[in-house]
Structures are given as C-alpha cells and as structure tokens.
Amino acid sequence: MTILNRKVFRELGRMRGQVIAITLVMACGIMLYVSSRHTYISLLKSQESYYASYRFADVFAGIKRAPASTAEEIAGIPGISRVRTRIVMDVNLDVPGLDEPATGRLVSMPERRRPVLNDVAIQEGRYPAVGRPEEVIISEAFAKANGLAPDDWIGAVINGRQKALRVVGIGLSPEYVYEVQGTGSIFPDNLRFGVIWMARDALGAAFDMEGGFNDLSVALSSEAREMDVIDRMDLILEPYGSTGAYGRDSQISHRFLMDEIIGLSVSSNFTPAVFLGIAALLLHIVFSRMVRAQRDQIAIMKAFGYNNLSIGWHYLKFAFLAISGGTLLGIVGGFLLGRPLTALYQDYYRFPDLVYELNYDVIALAAIISVSAAFLGTLHALRSAMSLPPAEAMRPDSPAHFRPLAMERLGVHQLLTPVWRMIFRNMERKPVKTLLSAFGIAMAVAILVMGRFTFDSIEYLIDYQFRTVQRDDAAVVFAGPRPARARFELSHLPGVVRSEPYRAVPVRLRSGHRMKQTSINGLDPAGELRQLIDRDGQTQSLPPEGVVLTRTLADLLAVREGDMVAVEVLEGSRMQGRLPVSLLVDELIGISAYMDNRALNRFLGEGSTISGAYLSVDPLRADALYATLKETPAVAGVAVREAVIKGFEDSIAESTSATTFTLTVFACIIACGMVYNGARIALEERNREMASLRVLGFTEREISVVLLGEQAIVTLMAIPIGFLIGWGLCYLAVDATAQELYRMPLVITGKTYAFAFLVVGAAAVVSAYVVHRQLRHLDMIGVLKIQE
Amino acid sequence: MSTVQTEPVFRARSISKVYRMGEVDVTALRGVDLDLYAGELAVFLGASGSGKSTLLNILGGLDVPSGGQVYYREREMTGADEADRTGFRRRSVGFVFQFYNLIPSLTALENVELVTEIAEDPMTAEDALGLVGLQPRMHHFPAQMSGGEQQRVAIARAIAKRPEVLLCDEPTGALDYTTGKRVLEVIEKVNSTLGTTTAVITHNAAIADMADRVIRLRSGEIVEVYANKAKKRPDELSW
Ligand SMILES: Nc1ncnc2c1ncn2[C@@H]1O[C@H](COP(=O)(O)OP(=O)(O)O)[C@@H](O)[C@H]1O
Ligand SMILES: [Mg+2]
C-alpha cells in the first residue's frame, strides 16, 4: 500500500465517529431509494404481467340490458380485438357470522373454463362444475376478511329470492386488484363487499337475462384510438340504457393502482433525494474541516512534488471510502427492505404473484447517485485543497478574526457571560457553517413532521368527510329508482331515527372539451345528514336551483360559480340539458355533484323518485335494523359509516405506521449525525480554547457548555426552520398526490410538531452526551505546547 | 524582593516523571527536590528537553508526577484528583505560555473577565489590564493585537484572580527582543507590586539575571541553584 493510502486508512480510523455518521445517513438515503424503487418496479411489473396473463380489458360499459346480437355489432367496431359480455349484479348477501348486510357483486363466468377478458385467477379450490348453478368463486379479500373457505355456504338475495351459494374457489381478477364497490365507497371494506363469480346460465336465469347481458368489456388492438371506440360504443349501446363506456383511466381499481404507482414513483425519487442531500451536506462539513486542518500537510506534499491532481484524488478517495460502506449497506438493506414494503401493498392491492427481483439498473443508479453525492459534498474541500499554494499553506491558517458584530451593535453581549459571548461570536463568525448545520438538523425535523403528517391528515380527512360532511349512520341504496313514498317504508323500520331520501343519477358533465363522469346527488333541502361545506368551513344551504359541484370537480371541468355545465344523463330518459353551477363546496373524497332533489326531479322530467336514503340509526337497535335490511330485496346495498371508517383506517394504518417508523428512525440518524459531527468538529477546531479554559480552572462541565452550547442553539434554531420545511414538504406531498378519488388535507397538528421536537431534541442530547464524554480525553498540555 | 527565605509555597520531594511512549519510557524528571518561596521570582534555565515544562506543569496541577510528593503549602498535591487539581488551578495558579492561548472570540477585557468571573476575590479586569499597560486596548480582539500585547493580556488574565503563584513557560519564546523585554517588565512588576510568587521558564541565560533565584536543569535533574546577588531590572538585560 502506498504511504498516501495508508494515511487515508489511518485517518479514516481516527475519524470513525464521523465516518459512521456519514455511513448511516448515506445508508438511509440509498436504502430508501433502492427499496422504494424496487417496490415501484415490482408493482409495475406485477401489474403488467397480471393484466397480460388474465387479459384485463381496455374499455368497459355498463348497460341496463342488451341482446346478444349487440355484441357482434360492437365487435365490428374498428380497433376492437375482443369482446366479452357479462351479467353483473350487486346483491345483498347473508354471510355467516356477519351482522350487517354485505354486498356481493355477482359476475358471470362461462360455463366451461376458457380464456376470457377479465379472467379469474384461481388461488384456491376450483372452477365451478358444469350444471352446478350454486357453485361460485369468491374474491380472496372477501374470503379472508370473513374467514370463508371452499365448501362454505353463503346466502344471497337474487332477484328477490333467497339463494344458497356454495364456495368452491377463491379467486382474484385484474378488474379488482383494488376491490371496492364503486363511486360511493372508494375505500376497501372487504368484510362487506366481495366479488362472486358464478356460471352465466345460473345468473342469466336468475335475472331473466338469458341471451342478454348488462356489462361489456372489450380489448383494443394496438392501433385503436380509445376515444373513437368509446364514441362508437356509446352510439350502439345508447338504446340499451348504457351508463357510458369508459377506459381504464376511469376503471376504479386500475385508477387507484395507477395513482399509487405514480405516487410511489414520485416519492421514490423525492424522499431519498432529501437524504442524499443531507449526506452531501455532512460530507461537505466534515471534509472542509479536514482540509483546513491539514493545510500544512497539503503544503508539504505539494512541496515534495505531488501535483494538484494527486492531492485532489487523495482527498476524493477519503470521500469515496467514507460513503462506500453506507452505499453498500443501503443497497443490500434496501433490497431486503423492499420485499416487506411491497408485501404491505399486497394487503389492499391484490396480485396472484408479486414479481420482486433484483434490478441492476436501480443498483447501478444508486451507486452513481451516492458517488455524485460524495463528489458534490467534497467539491468545496477539494477545490480549496487543490488551489492552496504550497508557500501559503506552510503558514498557519489565517488567525481567527473576530470583529464586533451584530451582537455588539445590538448591545446584547452585555447581558451574556464571556462563555456565552464565545459561543455566539463563533456562530456569528461562521454564519454559513452555522446555517448549514442548522439546515441539516432542520431536515431531520422536517422528515419527522412529514412522517407523522399522514396520520394527522387521515384523521382529519375521516373526521371531516365522515363526521362533518356525511352525518348519516348508514346509506341505503335501492336496486333502482323508487317512488318517493319508499322513504316512509324505511323510516318506519325499527331503529331508524331519521331518514332522508336522495336521488342519485349517473351523468356526464361537460364544459367545453372537458368531460367528467360522475353522478348528481339530489338531496332533501330540509335534510341534515349531508352537509355542504365551503372553503371556509361554513355550512351552506342547498340552493333551490342549479347544481352544486365539489371544488375538485369544478377544477377538472374548469368552471366556476355561475358558469353553465352540459349534463348528459346516463340512465332512463338519457336526456341532455344544461345547468348553472350554483355553489362550490369542499370535500376531500370523490368528485360529487349535488342538487335540490325537487330541482333534479324537474330536470329529469320525472315525478318524485328516490334512489335510496341516508339514515340516522339508534345504536342500540342498529344490529336488528341491518339484519332487516339484509333481508329486504329492494335494498341493493347498505353503507354503514363506522364500518367504512374502520375499513379505511385498518387499510391505511399499517402502511402508514411502517413508513412513519422508518422515517422516524432515519430522521433520528440524521439528527444524531448532524449534532455529533457539529460537536466533534467544534471540539477539534477549538480544543485549544477548551484546553486554555481547563488550565484556567474551568471544570469539564463548564467547558462542555462552551462546546455544546453552540450545538444546542443550532438545534433550537433548526427546529422552527424544520417545522417550516416540514410544512413545505407536506404541501408538496399533498400536491403531488392530489387525486380525483381523495385528497390529503394539509393538516399538521401540534402533536406532530411536539413529536418532531422531542425526537430531534432527544437525538441531540444523546449525541451531545457522547461528545461530552470525549472531553475527558482532552490533552491540556499537549495542545498548549503547539503553535496556534 | 529579597532572597531572604520566607516559608515555602511549593515543596517538591524526589519527584520523577516517566512518559510511556509505546515500548520506550522517556524519563523527563528524575528525583527532583525543590522549594519555591513566597514572593520570590525564580527562573528555570535549561536546554530544550531538560524537563522544565514538565516540572512546572506538575507544580501547577496540570500534570501528575510518576513518583515523589508535591506539597502546596501544607497540602499534599500528589494524591489530589482531577477535580481537586481543577479547583487548585482555579483558585491559586496563574499560567502564561509561550503561545498566548487567548480565546480569539473574546476581547482582551473579556478574556480577563473569563477568569475574574470564576475567581473568589479577583481584581477588576480593567485593573489587571492596567497593570500590564493595556487598558486603552481592552476592547480589541486578539487578532487585532501584536504578539507582545497578546502575551500581556495573557499575563493580565493569569494575575487577575490574584493567584498565589504565577507560572510562565517561555513567555518570551515567540517574541522579538524589544517586545520580549516589555513582557518581562510586566512580569517583574507583577512580582514586585503584588508579591506573587513567580516562576519563569526560559532557555535564554540572559533572562536569569532578573531572578531572585536561578534553578538550572539538565536531563531531568536540578544541577544548580543559585541566588542572584544583584538582580537586574528587565530593561537592563540584553541578549
Ligand atoms: N507528553 C509527552 N510524552 C512523551 N514525552 C514527553 C512528553 N512531554 C515531554 N516529554 C519528554 O520529556 C522530556 C522533557 O520535556 P519538557 O519538560 O517539555 O522539556 P523542556 O520544557 O525543558 O523543553 C523531553 O525528553 C520530552 O521529549
Ligand atoms: Mg518546555
């Protein structure tokens, strides 16, 4: 080994505390990058292969009822390569062991197994036997939530008749990677909603649809234009009560999965970038200090004929060695961490198999990123080492120059003891260094805020959406529009305290070339169970005319209050018309539209018709009520609020705790790394001062105030800055993940700030203590013997 | 100050000091006996490496001997622990080193106040600076002062707490002729006006002429002790 290399290793050993700090921060950044990138690629690949193997369709349409011949017409549309017609029906289920009613989505399957679009991947059991109408496959999530296995029986109300279904298989489908019922409830409630695949003949007979179908999915050839195909399909399907064809973009499972994958792609670059920035910052601080301390050595090497390049390379080697451990740790750890991280997604995005494999591009990129971070972090130090003229360097570093600064001008120094004046002047003299250290710690604070923000946001979202906006205990959906008097039948049921009818109509809203498919909810103007809340949190009364849009929907359509929107009704009369936007409201979930139900009935040209009702329920009699509703054929579904909230919380809580925990650990590492390094460098740079003070009779405790006081102030300074940066990061995160389906509100509670404060404070105290202990080894005599 | 023997402030009895340097032992002091008397100005002479600093550091409680005993007044220092020695330095000893070791972030006045703040019965920092003739420059930072001026601040800092002993290790080592003499004048003044027992280390034999007593070391042993019959004023010295 050359002497210079030996020097590198020896000095790295001497700086091991700092090297460990750099290693850990680097490892965190690389680990986050490698794991989230692997997760991202894994989900993307799993989705791709799943869609391909089970032939996920490209365009979908729901119809009231169409004859089989229509399918041939559709198949004739240029660009369509395959067509599949199905019967799809939501029915009430009676699941053993479940009190509330559950909803089953019956989906028809060919009598004999053959490859079809939106095929079922059987995970367990078998395909229903021919001539066995009672045999069904149920979705895995539903089976797991309810503890159902092959050979179990469930009851279903099919076309008004109670039927017993025998589970023979457990399956998955690319259509239901994310298994939710539809626009009304967008969070999985696997206990109360499940997909049931059953033989077409049995289903057709039960719903009097032999030969016909009410659901269509098609695959497109590669050159097809989706918009054109949708237009042609709508034209053909219109007479049969189509609710409008739509592409994968509006298919709810695909949409959720894509949002998740895109979000992951953003965050897999964003968060690691923050960590690597901090690692670079740390390297910058450590190496600038090192080159400053080694001025004389650099001068001597230069005097002996080493050129600038070899000096630069010498110090660069330090940096590369310092980061190599962290990079390696990060790559290995990241790959290992990615697997359980990916598995977490599997709880609500279900794939038959997850493709998780080592991705060499990611590894290579990780290495490039960490080398770049090292290079960036040491750039300043390298430049000053290389530009140092040998003669200049032989002289000691220009003496620390102190002038009266802001503190003196303000006169505050008179309030301080000499020790505190030392502390403040040192900070004032090197404002850039002080700010950089504060910035590093602030980033740790910010990461903690960001990590816990998700909890706050979701808590607020649930509270706002399910307690302020939606105040009903349960929402009943009828199998189809009913006359208004149906509400009285509901309100007389035992346990119903209050019932408010609503009329929901599927529509397409257009403004200019912008179009959005949703439904208009006609509300009872005297109702209390649905609140319209504006941007300022004020409750608004329902305008008697015009349509109320949620702000997200209005933004998508680019309309404001007073503008007109074109409305195309997708059921019954299929009429078209225009409505003024009378009010904008703020909701965090979905893209809803509301109207006064009388105005809606008028607009539709129908009498008083309702689609369901919002119920206020006596909690003591709730179970009995849900049991009754379960048996009621006219009721297609019941959404119980507490169940919806619980399902949501359960599904989100696990993944959120995992991320928050990881981020907390990483933030602690950063905080410790920054404080430890700051104190270590202060100790090295100022050991002469420390020694002088010890000689003058200051105790160890007293001089550690001088040393650590600065770190304490920097940490305290960093905390509010960190709060601000954290807020900013949350703002960006909210912005990046704003989706049609739901939006995270930018709410950060005091608890989160307190948490960040305490964690960083504790990390700072621990690192300070470690350095404080090193003060014991301060060599008073040795230091003072040496020329300054 | 006369050479009339007052009671000893320090008594060192057969002290030795061995530094372990890996495999080899370096003996810095081998059985030194020494008394330092109240109020005297003693000069320690000797070549580089003869053990002067080691001896002074042990007397001042910066270091501990490997063998022998040191008494300060009636107290045995040899058994004192680090906390005791810190307290001892805090109360009783003023140090001046070749490199001034001022705190760069504090002004001259504040460097002195650093000590007056933790002392029991200090003079004011202004008075201490007055004594070394630096009152007009008391608001200057170390970087704004010459080496000689910095050394005088260091002396002011050392004496401000009215220590019983002032220990100076090569105080003029880094200074030129004129400034060096100016610093010696200040040391002499402190010794004569405050009566502070003073020990000055030097390898410059000419300086010995200002001492009450001269102690010469060679290879870790005291080889000669003599009293100056006619002690010179620093301005009369030349080298
Ligand atoms: N910390 C130390 N470690 C090892 N040897 C030392 C140490 N300090 C001093 N010495 C050795 O002790 C001897 C006396 O040193 P010192 O008291 O500094 O001499 P002086 O001050 O007279 O020049 C020298 O040989 C020196 O090398
Ligand atoms: Mg010496």
Hey, where are the domains in chain B?
38-62+83-236
Give pLDDT tens digits for A642-685: 877 887 777 677 667 777 888 888 888 888 888 888 888 888 88
Our answer on whether the CB atom of B47 is closer than 6 Å to any ligand 1 atom is no
Asked whether A382 and A374 are in contact (CB, 8 A), the reply is no
The residue of chain B nearest to residue A423, with distances taken between CA atoms, is B105
Ligand 1 center–CA B28 separation, angstroms: 6
Tell me the average pLDDT across A528-548: 90
Please name which ligand lies nearest the alpha carbon of B169: 2
pLDDT at A183 over 60: no
Put simply, the answer to whether A418 touches B113 (Cβ < 8 Å) is yes
Interchain contact, B105 vs A429, CB within 8 Å: yes
DSSP strand E in A58-130: where? 59-67, 80-86, 88-94, 102-109, 121-125
Please determine, for residue A115, whether its predicted confidence score (pLDDT) is greater than 80: yes
Residue B141 phi, psi dihedral angles, 5° rounding: -85, 155
Chain A residue set in contact with B, beta carbons under 8 Å: 399-403, 417-419, 421-422, 425-426, 429, 688-689, 691-700, 702, 780-781, 784-788
A contacts of B89 (beta carbons < 8 Å): 695-697
Angle, vertex CA A467, rays to CA A462 and CA A469, nearest 5: 95
Q: Which ligand is nearest to the CA of B28?
A: 1
CB contact at 8 A, A355 and A45: yes
- If one compares A405 and A199, the residue with the highest pLDDT of the two is A199
Q: Is the pLDDT score of A557 beyond 60?
A: yes
Ligand 1 atom showing the smallest separation from residue B51 Cα: 17
Q: Which residues contact A400 (CB under 8 A, 6 or more apart)?
A: A429, B104, B105, B143
8 A C-beta contact, residue A703 and residue A693: yes
Q: Is the complex ipTM more than 0.95?
A: no
Report the nearest-CA residue for atom 21 of ligand 1. B53
Question: Residue B15: which H helix or E strand, with range?
Answer: strand B8-21
Q: Mind telling me how many Å the CA of A725 is from chain B's nearest CA?
A: 32
Q: Give yes or no for B87 touching A (CB within 8 A).
A: yes
CB burial class (10 A; 0-12, 13-18, 19+) of residue B111?
buried
Give the closest of A400, A422, A697 to B118, CB-based: A697
Q: Which helix (H) or strand (E) holds A201?
A: helix A200-206
- Note the pLDDT tens digit of each residue in A233-250: 999 998 888 878 999 988
B38-62+83-236: which CATH architecture?
3-Layer(aba) Sandwich (3.40)
**Which tokens go with A19?**
């090297």
pLDDT higher than 90, residue A359? yes
The contacts of residue A321 (CB under 8 Å, 6+ apart) are A8, A9, A12
User: φ, ψ for residue A258 (rounded to 5)?
Assistant: -65, -45
pLDDT tens digits, one per residue of B146-197: 989 999 999 999 999 999 999 999 999 888 898 899 999 999 999 999 999 9
**C-alpha angle A377/A380/A385, rounded to 5°?**
120
Highest mean pLDDT among A130-139, A412-421, A674-683: A130-139
Order the strands of the B221-227 sheet from edge to edge. B93-96, B165-169, B197-202, B41-45, B213-218, B221-227
* A385 pLDDT more than 90: no
* Distance, CA of A396 to chain centre: 54
Residue nearest to atom 5 of ligand 1 (CA): B19
Is the CB of B115 less than 8 angstroms away from the CB of A696? yes
Question: Side chain identity at A56, as an amino acid letter?
Answer: F
Residue with tokens 């004020």: A538
pLDDT for residue B238 is more than 60: yes
Atom 24, ligand 1: which residue's CA is nearest?
B49
What is the model's pLDDT at position A72?
92
Task: Tell me the residue type at A385.
Answer: A
Contacts of A735 (CB under 8 A, 6+ apart): none
- pLDDT value for A787: 66
Both tokens of residue A48? 């791709």
pLDDT value for A287: 87
For the Cβ of B52 lying below 6 angstroms from any atom of ligand 1, the answer is: yes
Q: Extract the tokens encoding A636.
A: 């297609």
Q: What is the rounded average pLDDT of the residues A27-48?
A: 92
- Given the DSSP bridges, would you call strands A514-523 and A593-596 parallel, antiparallel or unpaired? parallel
pLDDT 10s digits, A592-647: 899 999 999 999 988 888 999 999 999 999 888 888 887 787 887 788 888 778 87
* C-alpha span between A455 and A18 (Å, rounded): 34
Q: How confident is the model at residue B2 (pLDDT cuts 50, 70, 90)?
A: very low
DSSP 8-state assignment for residue A397: P
Residue B38, SS3 per DSSP: coil
Band (pLDDT 50/70/90 cuts) for residue A42 is very high
- Could B62 and A425 be called an inter-chain contact, meaning their C-beta atoms sit closer than 8 Å? no
Residues of B in contact with A416 (CB under 8 A): none
pLDDT given at position B1: 45
Looking at residue A391, its pLDDT comes to 62
**Residue-level pLDDT at A318:** 84
Question: Is there a contact between B62 and A781 if contact means CB atoms under 8 Å apart?
Answer: yes
Size of interface A-B (CB pairs under 8 A): 84
- Partner residue facing B103 (CB), from A399, A689, A784: A689
Q: Which residues contact A782 (CB under 8 A, 6 or more apart)?
A: none
Integer angstrom CA distances of residue A406 from A411, A414, A433, A712, B117: 8, 13, 17, 20, 24
Give percent above pLDDT 90 in chain A. 36
**Where residue A341 falls among pLDDT bands split at 50, 70, 90?**
confident
Ligand 1 atom with minimal separation from the A781 CA:
1
Q: Tell how strand B165-169 and strand A474-483 pair up.
A: unpaired
Residue of B nearest to A689 (CA): B103
Nearest to A217 by CA among A88, A139, A118: A118
The tens digit of pLDDT for each residue in B76-134 reads 988 888 888 888 988 899 999 888 888 888 889 988 988 888 888 899 999 999 989 99
pLDDT of residue A348 exceeding 90: no
Q: Which of A61-65, A309-313, A647-651 has the lowest mean pLDDT?
A: A647-651
Would you state the structure tokens that stand for residue A112, as one six-digit string?
């004999």
Q: Are A601 and A569 in contact (CB under 8 A)?
A: no
Tell me the domain boundaries of chain A: 1-56+252-398, 63-251, 430-473+641-788, 496-617
Q: Are A347 and A647 in contact (CB under 8 A)?
A: no
What CA dihedral angle connects A640, A642, A645 and A647, to 10 degrees?
Answer: -70
The ligand 1 atom at the shortest distance from the C-alpha of residue B17 is: 12
Residue A394 clears pLDDT 60, i.e. is over it:
no
Q: How does DSSP classify residue B39?
A: T
Q: For residue A417, list chain B residues with Cβ-Cβ distance below 8 A.
A: 117
Chain B neighbors of A704, CB-CB under 8 A: none
Cα–ligand 1 centroid distance for B29 (angstroms): 9
Mean pLDDT of all residues in A51-64:
94
Model confidence at A324, in pLDDT bands (50, 70, 90)? very high
pLDDT at A744 over 90: no
Q: What is the mean pLDDT of residues A78-103?
A: 88
Looking at ligand 1, which atom is closest to the CA of residue B46?
22
**Minimum CA distance residue for ligand 1 atom 13:** B28
- With a cut of 90, say whether residue B225 has pLDDT above it: yes
Residues from chain A that touch B174, judged by Cβ atoms under 8 A, are 787
Distance from CA of B157 to the nearest CA of A (A): 9
Residues of B in contact with A695 (CB under 8 A): 62, 89, 95, 101
Q: What is the pLDDT of residue A667?
A: 85
The highest-confidence range among A121-130, A585-594, A626-635, by mean pLDDT, is A121-130
| HEC-encoded secondary structure of B102-170 | CCCCCCHHHHHHHHHCCCCCCCCHHHHHHHCCCHHHCCCCHHHCCHHHHHHHHHHHHHCCCCCEEEEEC
Tokens matching residue A42: 């894994």
Tell me whether B59 touches chain A (CB under 8 Å).
no
pLDDT at A73: 93
Phi and psi angles of residue A592, each rounded to the nearest 5 degrees, phi first: -90, 160
Query: Confidence class of residue B223 from pLDDT cuts 50, 70 and 90?
Result: very high
Q: Which of B18, B25, B26, B64 most suits a substitution to test ligand 1, by most atoms within 8 Å of the C-beta?
A: B26
Q: Which ligand is nearest to the CA of B47?
A: 1
Mean pLDDT, range A357-361, rounded to an integer: 93
Instruction: Identify the residue whose C-alpha is closest to ligand 1 atom 3.
Output: B19
Give the DSSP H or E segment for B225.
Answer: strand B221-227
> For residue A171, what pLDDT band results from cuts at 50, 70 and 90?
very high
Identify the band that residue A452 occupies on the pLDDT scale cut at 50, 70 and 90: confident
Residues in B closer than 8 angstroms to A422, CB to CB, are 103, 105-106
Closest ligand 1 atom to A779 CA: 1
Residues A726-745, mean pLDDT to the nearest whole number: 80
Pick B86's closest partner by Cβ from A421, A689, A697: A697
Ligand nearest to the CA of B99: 2
Interface of B with A in 65-84 (CB under 8 A): 83
d(CA A621, CA A359): 56
Q: Is B21 in the pocket of ligand 1 (CB under 6 A)?
A: yes
- Per residue in B15-64, pLDDT (tens digit) is 999 998 878 899 999 999 999 999 999 999 999 999 999 999 999 988 89
**CB burial string A506-536: b at 16+ within 10 A, e below:** bbbbbbeeeebbbbbbbbbeebebbbbbeee
- For residue B34, the CA-to-ligand 1 centroid distance in Å is 19
B contacts of A697 (beta carbons < 8 Å): 86-91, 93, 115, 118
Using pLDDT thresholds of 50, 70 and 90, give the confidence band for residue A396: low
Cα nearest neighbour of A399 on chain B: B143
Q: What is the CATH number of domain A496-617?
A: 2.40.40
How many CA atoms, within 13 angstroms, populate the side-chain half-sphere of residue A640? 25
Contact A402 B104 (CB under 8 A): yes
Query: Which chain A residue is nearest to residue B113, measuring alpha carbons?
Result: A418
